[in-house]
């Protein structure tokens, strides 16, 4: 059997065999019906097997042969026009590569199912309702006691399990000298059996590992962590690490590739929920609740049971609420419980990047369409050059389908070559893009496999692109009329019309890409250049921890010691860094009046903090030694506006309302300028700073286990002090360790990572789109000049001026550019609504946002037109007419 029929076997072998057999069988039956002797008929017929093979060959090989010869011919055609083919392949490769790498990212974050049993039965419990600010909000955090009640309530229909929000923690393996970071997640012990996860080593948790608060100091590692931290050492079982005051023993390693339920965060260490200090608290919503629904269970029934159980729990708790209005409590209780599908996990990264990724996806698709239009135009131009060849093929009997196949095979070559190069590009750029999203000290770690999903996507894309840009030229080529084509060409305008339409489409898409890119770049510019109210230059943020909480005096000694290190200009202590993302808040009561419902955001800082962060003091004074929390306070401008109608609040007093009716009294000693609190987008919050030095009711100093040292250095590169500080801190007091050193600048920049990513990629795609559209425009103009050489020659011979010729050549194309740009504006206005939330202080209707892309397209079009127009004007009528 020949190679080709073997290949054919794959596509349509079995059915074909059956058909041939049936037909041969029918022949013999026919012979018998005529009264022939069965043995004679069979003998006359010969070997069925042999005939079957001959028939098969006849029916398969011709088709495969034609495909093969088309493939060879198509490749030869491409090589004949090396430069144009290469340009087409490269532009397509860029577009396909961008698409594939966008797909890899989108797939890894949003689409890929978790590597667990029955991911499609997995749901995330979420509450939806009206938040304290009167706006709709959803939140999927739960308190453990509530979770326990809900789990029992739906025991028969679904298995609920708790997973905490994965977070980096400080831990030590050998001595306390070496603190390292690892991502840790508290999980219900029965999560492992529920998700069908098996150990790669040792054991994983079960229900029995998660029974008693604080009673199960065991850990399960992820395979990934076991590999990169321990080199897959089997002796890791039984080793211990210290986290906080607790010593944990490693019980096992869970099989790869499971790394938790949060795409974007790869969990290193799993510990039982019972080890979380908040596990008994009713007011701390520190974990997600996932539900594995049993087959056949009714979702709505489960949902209602959960809602009823959770409501009963919160109603009981709400009896003790203070400082909330009746309406707020009602809103809180009336929250609806939802079951959101979680087959691909749940993470903040998903919700944060869903829209940006969708925008990026749309941009790369537009770029792909622009590139496809280019290739379609190239093929159309080529097809017109090949009109004679096609006409000959038709007149010697080439069927219409044969010709379509011929052109499509050539497009497939282009697409496949482009997909191969694009694949390489995607393979390289995927991790590169991920590294761009990563803040240096807190990397988002993603599984980015290049598996059959990505390969399948790439091939599908190549196929779609082949049909997209190959079909029109193919149909056109195959409908060639031999007589008119051989006589010297059919209507030349019909081809130009198609090309012109594609130009308009390209310009429209290009405008859209430029427009959106402009908006993102402006957003990033405005966001990153706005004032934060303090100076981040040369400031190191030194996260410091103590084995056990230490008296604040010891913290002050450490700060004092660090202040004496060479290169340090100023040092201050705080509970958390500015713009670090976290915060705490309280209601304020002025003159004993009830709180006005606006939360004030707090930070504990030491004397010298204002100076270290270069925050301007408007009135009053900084903290000084002797000030304590509670007692003295600094407040910002928004605080004064919110609670004191904007009057200078120095010397005034207020109370912090705590839970259960208690309150703390403060006197305002200083009035400072506004600074940004946790992020760059929200309005400035009312802020209140209290002394780092805390005292309890009896006047004894408070203790702290963790804090940050803010170190303003005199060095251009403050990081060079990091290792010195790591040594100096324990030298000041042996109980203290540095767990992490960042620069304040890094913290600030990490807040615009998403915007920077969008701006950079959108800008990149805008350049590519402009380039591709320019190339396309050039190609079409060039082609039309070539085609109209004779006409131009004649016009010039009868006295047409260069200007008229230029207008003649460019008029149609430029009207297409205008049409395309107008369509682009309309498209932009329509589509931008879906991404408005991603913008900052910029609007789609801003004039410059529309003017810039228009200008870019105009300049691009002029540049593209320059050469073809010069060519047209330089046509020498005499030689042209002679040549004809």
Sites of contact with another protein (CB under 8 A)? 19-20, 22-24, 26-27, 29-31, 34, 44-47, 50-51, 54-55, 57-59, 62-63, 397, 399
CB of 452 to another protein, least distance (A): 34
Q: Closest CB to another protein among 65 and 207?
A: 65
CB of 22 to another protein, least distance (A): 6
CB of 72 to another protein, least distance (A): 20
CB of 396 to another protein, least distance (A): 10
DSSP 312: H
Q: Closest CB to another protein among 15 and 212?
A: 15
Question: According to the 3-state scheme, what is the secondary structure of 699-712?
Answer: CCECEEEEEEEEEE
Question: According to the 3-state scheme, what is the secondary structure of 340-355?
Answer: EECCCCCCHHHHHHHH
Question: According to the 3-state scheme, what is the secondary structure of 664-676?
Answer: EEEEEEEEECCCC
8 A C-beta contact, residue 451 and residue 108: no
CB of 69 to another protein, least distance (A): 14
Helix (H) or strand (E) holding 483: helix 482-487
CB of 51 to another protein, least distance (A): 5
Q: Is 702 exposed, middle or buried (0-12, 13-18, 19+ CB in 10 A)?
A: middle
CB of 392 to another protein, least distance (A): 16
Supply 876's token pair: 């020498």
CA-based torsion, 246, 251, 257, 260: positive or negative: negative
* C-alpha to C-alpha distances, 876 to 105, 798, 802, 804, 809, nearest whole angstrom: 55, 12, 12, 15, 16
* C-alpha to C-alpha distances, 796 to 865, 878, 880, nearest whole angstrom: 20, 9, 10
Q: Closest CB to another protein among 53 and 340?
A: 53
Q: Closest CB to another protein among 31 and 256?
A: 31
Q: Closest CB to another protein among 401 and 584?
A: 401
Q: Cα(621)–Cα(640) distance, rounded to whole angstroms?
A: 16
Q: Closest CB to another protein among 26 and 866?
A: 26
CB of 20 to another protein, least distance (A): 7
CB of 411 to another protein, least distance (A): 23
CB of 44 to another protein, least distance (A): 5
539-551 and 240-243 beta bridge pairing: unpaired
CB of 388 to another protein, least distance (A): 21
Cα angle vertex 760, ends 754, 763, to 5°?
130
CB of 21 to another protein, least distance (A): 11
Nearest alpha carbon to residue 226 among 255, 264, 260 = 255
CB of 518 to another protein, least distance (A): 55
Q: Closest CB to another protein among 48 and 333?
A: 48
Q: Closest CB to another protein among 45 and 139?
A: 45
- Collect all residues with Cβ–Cβ distance below 8 Å to 145 and sequence separation of at least 6: 280, 281, 282, 313
CA-based torsion, 52, 54, 55, 56: positive or negative: positive
Decide: helix, strand or coil at residue 716: coil
Q: Closest CB to another protein among 44 and 855?
A: 44
Q: What are phi and psi of 200, to 5 degrees?
A: -90, -20
CA-based torsion, 395, 8, 93, 773: positive or negative: positive
DSSP 236: G
* C-alpha to C-alpha distances, 291 to 42, 138, 159, 178, 340, nearest whole angstrom: 68, 18, 6, 38, 10
Q: Closest CB to another protein among 1 and 86?
A: 1
Helix (H) or strand (E) holding 643: helix 637-644
Q: Closest CB to another protein among 29 and 593?
A: 29
Q: Closest CB to another protein among 55 and 657?
A: 55
Q: Cα(163)–Cα(195) distance, rounded to whole angstroms?
A: 13
Point out which residues pair with 127 in neighbouring strands: 139, 337
Supply 282's token pair: 């009713």
Q: Closest CB to another protein among 22 and 156?
A: 22
8 A C-beta contact, residue 287 and residue 163: yes
CA 503, chain centre distance (Å) = 31
Supply 36's token pair: 């022939």
Q: Cα(694)–Cα(676) distance, rounded to whole angstroms?
A: 24
Report the number of secondary-structure helices (H) and strands (E) in the chain: 25, 23
Nearest alpha carbon to residue 530 among 539, 522, 538 = 522
Q: Cα(513)–Cα(103) distance, rounded to whole angstroms?
A: 18
Q: Cα(821)–Cα(858) distance, rounded to whole angstroms?
A: 9
Supply 794's token pair: 């004649």
Q: Closest CB to another protein among 395 and 815?
A: 395
Q: Closest CB to another protein among 397 and 683?
A: 397
CB of 5 to another protein, least distance (A): 12
CB of 13 to another protein, least distance (A): 15
8 A C-beta contact, residue 289 and residue 125: yes
How many of the other CB atoms lie within 10 Å of CB of 852?
A: 17
CB of 512 to another protein, least distance (A): 45
Nearest alpha carbon to residue 415 among 451, 456, 374, 461 = 461
Q: Closest CB to another protein among 482 and 877?
A: 482
Q: Closest CB to another protein among 24 and 365?
A: 24
CB of 54 to another protein, least distance (A): 4
* C-alpha to C-alpha distances, 652 to 76, 323, 666, 752, nearest whole angstrom: 87, 22, 9, 37
């Amino acid at each position: 059997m020949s190679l080709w029929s073997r290949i054919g076997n794959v596509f349509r072998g079995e059915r074909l065999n059956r058909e041939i057999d049936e037909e041969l069988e029918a022949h013999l039956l026919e012979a018998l019906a005529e009264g022939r002797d069965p043995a004679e008929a069979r003998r006359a017929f010969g070997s069925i097997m042999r005939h079957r093979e001959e028939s098969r060959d006849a029916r398969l090989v011709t088709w495969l042969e034609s495909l093969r010869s088309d493939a060879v011919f198509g490749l030869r055609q491409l090589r004949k026009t090396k430069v144009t083919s290469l340009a087409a392949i490269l532009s397509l490769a860029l577009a396909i590569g961008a698409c594939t790498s966008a797909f890899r990212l989108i797939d890894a974050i949003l689409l890929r199912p978790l590597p667990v049993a029955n991911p499609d039965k997995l749901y995330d419990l979420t509450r939806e309702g009206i938040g304290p600010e009167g706006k709709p909000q959803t939140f999927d955090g739960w308190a453990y006691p509530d979770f326990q009640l809900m789990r029992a309530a739906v025991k028969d229909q679904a298995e609920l399990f708790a997973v905490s929000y994965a977070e980096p923690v400080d831990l030590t393996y050998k001595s306390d000298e070496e603190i390292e970071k690892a991502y840790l997640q508290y999980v219900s012990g029965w999560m492992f059996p529920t998700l069908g996860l098996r150990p790669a080593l040792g054991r994983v948790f079960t229900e029995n590992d998660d029974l008693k608060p604080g009673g199960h100091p065991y850990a399960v590692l992820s395979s990934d962590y076991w590999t990169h931290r321990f080199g897959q050492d089997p002796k890791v079982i039984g080793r211990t690490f210290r986290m906080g005051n607790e010593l944990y023993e490693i019980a096992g390693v869970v099989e790869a590739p499971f790394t938790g339920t949060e795409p974007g965060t790869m969990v290193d260490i799993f510990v039982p929920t019972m080890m979380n200090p908040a596990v008994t608290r009713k007011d701390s919503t520190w974990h997600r609740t996932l539900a594995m629904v049993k087959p056949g269970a009714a979702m709505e029934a489960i949902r209602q049971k959960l809602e009823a159980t959770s409501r009963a729990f919160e109603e009981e708790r709400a009896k003790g609420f203070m400082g909330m209005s009746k309406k707020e409590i009602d809103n809180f209780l009336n929250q609806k419980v939802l079951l959101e599908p979680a087959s691909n996990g749940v993470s903040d990264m998903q919700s944060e990047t869903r829209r940006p990724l969708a925008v990026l996806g749309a941009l790369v698709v537009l770029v792909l369409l622009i590139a496809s239009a280019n290739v379609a135009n190239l093929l159309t131009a080529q097809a017109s050059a090949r009109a004679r060849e096609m006409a000959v093929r038709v007149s010697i009997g080439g069927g219409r389908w044969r010709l379509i196949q011929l052109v499509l095979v050539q497009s497939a070559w282009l697409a496949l070559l482009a997909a191969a190069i694009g694949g390489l590009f995607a393979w390289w750029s995927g991790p590169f893009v991920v590294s761009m999203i990563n803040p240096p000290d807190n990397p988002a770690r993603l599984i980015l496999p290049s598996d059959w999903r990505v390969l399948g996507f790439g091939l599908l894309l190549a196929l779609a692109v082949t049909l997209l840009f190959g079909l029109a030229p193919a149909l056109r080529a195959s409908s060639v009329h031999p007589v008119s084509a051989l006589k010297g060409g059919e209507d030349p305008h019909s081809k130009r019309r198609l090309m012109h339409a594609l130009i308009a489409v390209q310009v429209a898409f290009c405008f859209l890409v430029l427009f959106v890119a402009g908006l993102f770049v402006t957003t990033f510019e405005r966001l990153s250049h706005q004032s934060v109210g303090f100076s981040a230059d040369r400031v190191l943020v030194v996260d410091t921890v103590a084995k056990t909480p230490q008296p604040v005096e010891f913290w002050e000694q450490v700060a004092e010691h660090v202040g004496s290190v060479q290169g340090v200009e100023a040092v201050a202590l705080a509970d958390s860094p500015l713009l670090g993302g976290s915060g705490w808040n309280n209601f304020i009561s002025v003159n004993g009046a009830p709180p006005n419902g606006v939360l004030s955001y707090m930070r504990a800082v030491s004397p010298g903090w204002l100076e270290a962060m270069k925050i301007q003091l408007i009135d009053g004074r900084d903290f000084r030694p002797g000030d304590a929390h509670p007692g003295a306070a600094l407040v910002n401008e928004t605080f004064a506006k919110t609670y004191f109608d904007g009057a200078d609040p120095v010397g005034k007093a207020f109370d912090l309302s705590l839970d259960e009716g208690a309150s703390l009294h403060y006197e305002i000693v200083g009035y400072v300028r506004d600074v940004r609190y946790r992020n760059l987008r929200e309005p400035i919050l009312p802020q209140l700073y209290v002394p780092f030095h805390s005292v309890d009711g009896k006047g004894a100093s408070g203790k702290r286990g963790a804090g940050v040292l803010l170190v303003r250095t005199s060095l251009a590169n403050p990081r060079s002090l990091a290792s010195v500080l790591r040594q100096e801190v324990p030298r000041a007091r042996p109980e203290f360790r540095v767990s992490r050193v960042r620069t304040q600048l890094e913290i600030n920049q990490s807040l615009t990572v998403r915007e920077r990513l969008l701006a950079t990629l959108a800008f990149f795609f805008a350049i590519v789109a402009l380039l591709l559209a320019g190339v396309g425009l050039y190609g079409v103009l060039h082609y039309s000049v070539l085609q109209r050489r004779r006409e131009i020659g004649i016009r010039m011979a009868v006295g047409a001026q260069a200007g008229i010729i230029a207008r003649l050549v460019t008029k149609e194309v430029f009207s297409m550019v205008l049409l395309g740009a107008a369509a682009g504006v309309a498209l932009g206005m329509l589509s931008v609504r879906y991404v408005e939330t991603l913008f900052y202080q910029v609007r789609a209707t801003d004039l410059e946002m529309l003017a810039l892309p228009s200008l870019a397209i105009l300049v691009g079009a002029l540049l593209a037109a320059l050469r073809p127009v010069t060519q047209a004007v330089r046509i020498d009528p005499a030689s042209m007419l002679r040549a004809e």
